[in-house]
């Protein structure tokens, strides 16, 4: 039996390569097309998440700012009655927990920190949350419109934190939300450095005093 003609073998290889090349190109093209579609789907999904986060921000931002104003005695703090603030918390809690799956765990951590700074929620079953702030300035500002029953909406004087603690918890939450919707260069100093008023003298139960916490500590 004679040896195979090397030229014939080469021609066979060429034919095989020529036949396989379109298949290989088609396979690579199919793979690339699938990858591109996967990337497009991922980008579309991420865009939808961002859109939902922006919607959640829009729902939360105004009432959160109203809470900040109320507890820090700035802006429109006189416009809200204590029962209004308690009711606002219930609406915020519902909106926050509905939106929580759109964010990572830091969202609820920061949200709960702000709520725990502003409210005492560990009362008896069915009891409304109480406001962790002092009523003195609010009663004074309301004048004759103050309802004596609103006194039960507040914690004891010793349990009321300084407004600065509310400011920092609020700033951290809002900075987180801004970053989550794509804003850059945002940090917890977004509220500036304007000093907030201190609480009234917490040891003088029943007295309306304008002594700040630093002065009171030295008296």
Question: pLDDT, tens digit, for every residue of 37-96?
Answer: 666 666 667 788 889 999 999 999 999 999 999 999 998 899 999 999 999 999 999 999
> Which of 36-40, 127-131, 136-140 is predicted with the least confidence, judged by mean pLDDT?
36-40
Residue 26 lies in a domain: no
> Which of 28-32, 73-77, 100-104, 115-119 is predicted with the least confidence, judged by mean pLDDT?
28-32
Percent of the chain with pLDDT over 90: 49
Residue 192 lies in a domain: yes
- pLDDT tens digit sequence for 178-216: 989 887 665 545 555 556 766 655 443 333 333 333 433
The reported pLDDT for the residue numbered 3 is 53
Q: Give me the sign of the Cα torsion angle 106, 111, 114, 116.
A: negative
Residue 46 lies in a domain: no
- pLDDT tens digit sequence for 95-110: 999 999 999 999 999 9
178 or 124, which is more confident: 178
Residue 112 lies in domain: 56-218
138 or 37, which is more confident: 138
pTM (two decimals): 0.70
Residue 97 lies in a domain: yes
Say which residue the tokens 């060429």 belong to: 14
The reported pLDDT for the residue numbered 8 is 67
Residue 34 lies in a domain: no
Total number of domains in the chain: 1
Q: Which residues of 142-175 are buried (b: 16+ CB within 10 A; e: fewer)?
A: eeeebeeebeebbbebeebbbbebbbbbbbbbbb
1 or 78, which is more confident: 78
Rounded to the nearest integer, the mean pLDDT of the chain is 79
Is residue 23 scored above 90 in pLDDT? no
Residue 211 lies in a domain: yes
The reported pLDDT for the residue numbered 11 is 66
Residue 3 lies in a domain: no
Residue 191 lies in a domain: yes
């Amino acid at each position: 039996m004679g040896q195979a003609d090397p030229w014939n073998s080469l021609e066979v290889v060429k034919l095989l390569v020529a036949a396989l090349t379109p298949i290989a190109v088609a396979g690579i093209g199919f793979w690339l097309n699938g990858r591109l579609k996967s990337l497009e789907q991922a980008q579309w999904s991420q865009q939808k998440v961002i859109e939902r986060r922006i919607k959640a921000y829009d729902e939360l931002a105004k009432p959160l700012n109203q809470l900040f104003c109320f507890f820090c005695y700035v802006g429109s703090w006189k416009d809200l009655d204590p029962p209004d603030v308690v009711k606002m918390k219930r609406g915020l809690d519902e909106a926050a927990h509905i939106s929580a799956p759109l964010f990572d765990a830091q969202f609820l951590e920061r949200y709960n920190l702000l709520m725990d700074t502003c409210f005492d929620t560990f009362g008896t079953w069915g009891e409304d949350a109480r406001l962790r702030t002092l009523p003195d300035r609010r009663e004074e500002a309301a004048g004759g419109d103050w309802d004596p029953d609103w006194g039960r909406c507040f914690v004891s004087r010793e349990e009321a934190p300084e407004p600065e603690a509310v400011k920092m918890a609020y700033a951290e939450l809002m900075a987180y939300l801004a970053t989550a919707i794509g804003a850059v260069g945002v940090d917890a100093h977004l509220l500036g450095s304007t000093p907030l008023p201190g609480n009234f003298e917490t040891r003088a139960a029943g007295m309306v005093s304008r002594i700040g916490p630093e002065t009171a500590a030295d008296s």
